[in-house]
Amino acid sequence: MTTTYDSAATTRILVVEDDQRIRASLRLALDDEGYVVDEAPTGEDAVASFTANPPDLVLIDVMLPGMDGFSCCQALRRESDVPIVMVTARTDTQDIVNGLEAGADDYVTKPFVMKELSARIRALLRRAHPLAQGDTGDMASAKFGDLEIRQDEGVVRQDGTDLHLTKTEFRLLCELAAHPGKVLSREDLLDRVWGYDYFGDGRLVDVHVRRLRTKVETDPANPRHVLTVRGLGYKLAP
- Least distance (Å) between residue 30 CB and other proteins: 9
Does residue 202 touch other proteins according to CB under 8 A? yes
Of the residues 43, 55, 195, 223, which one makes contact with other proteins according to CB under 8 A: 223
Residues 132-171: x where in contact with other proteins by CB under 8 A, - otherwise, as a string: ----------------------------------------
Q: Which is nearer to other proteins, 131 or 229 (CB)?
A: 229
| Angle at the Cα of 24 from the Cα atoms of 23 and 30, rounded to 5 degrees | 85
| Angle at the Cα of 54 from the Cα atoms of 50 and 60, rounded to 5 degrees | 50
Does residue 112 touch other proteins according to CB under 8 A? yes
Q: Residues near 97 by Cβ (< 8 Å), separated by ≥ 6?
A: 203, 207
Does residue 26 touch other proteins according to CB under 8 A? yes
| Angle at the Cα of 156 from the Cα atoms of 134 and 108, rounded to 5 degrees | 70
Q: Count Cβ atoms below 10 Å from residue 156 Cβ, excluding itself.
A: 24
Q: Is 219 exposed, middle or buried (0-12, 13-18, 19+ CB in 10 A)?
A: exposed
Q: Candidates 40-48, 75-83, 105-113, 147-155: pick the segment binding other proteins (CB under 8 A).
A: 105-113
CA distances from 19 to 16, 63, 67, 147 (A): 9, 10, 15, 45
- Least distance (Å) between residue 198 CB and other proteins: 3
Residues 177-196: x where in contact with other proteins by CB under 8 A, - otherwise, as a string: ----------x---------
Of the residues 5, 183, 199, 215, which one makes contact with other proteins according to CB under 8 A: 199
The residue ranges that bind other proteins (CB under 8 A) are 1, 19, 21-22, 24-26, 28-29, 32-33, 89-92, 109-116, 118, 187, 197-199, 201-202, 206-207, 209-210, 221-223, 227-231
